[in-house]
């Protein structure tokens, strides 16, 4: 079941990359995408940073400040 969930999130993530319509995705899905990016185990790539910045802006627009802070922290830690 977990493998299906992760593959579904990857599909959503790549769909998001090509369509970039974050307003269509539920907040929970956006947060799931953030966690998929962060659990990759590798340093963040520039494209992942771009994804996180877009998600951060969308979460801020929705008033989801904790999720936006999570994105901001992840982006900030990349520079250490």
Question: Which residue range is the domain that position 43 belongs to?
Answer: 2-78
What torsion do the CA atoms of 9, 49, 80, 70 make, to the nearest 10 degrees? -60
**pTM metric for this prediction:** 0.73
What confidence score (pLDDT) does residue 1 get? Answer: 47
Residue range 32-80, pLDDT digits in tens: 888 888 887 778 888 888 889 999 999 999 999 999 999 999 888 776 5
Per the structure, the count of domains in the chain is 1
Provide the CA 7 distance to its chain's centre, in angstroms: 15
What confidence score (pLDDT) does residue 61 get? Answer: 93
What confidence score (pLDDT) does residue 65 get? Answer: 92
Q: Which residue has the higher pLDDT, 20 or 46?
A: 46
Q: Which residue has the higher pLDDT, 78 or 3?
A: 78
């Amino acid at each position: 079941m977990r493998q299906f969930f992760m593959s579904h999130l990857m599909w959503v993530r790549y769909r998001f990359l090509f369509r970039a319509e974050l307003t269509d995705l539920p907040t929970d899905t956006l947060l799931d995408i953030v966690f998929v990016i962060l659990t990759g185990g590798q340093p963040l790539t520039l494209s992942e940073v771009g994804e996180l910045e877009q998600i951060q802006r969308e979460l801020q627009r929705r008033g989801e400040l904790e999720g936006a802070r999570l994105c901001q922290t992840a982006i900030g830690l990349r520079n250490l």
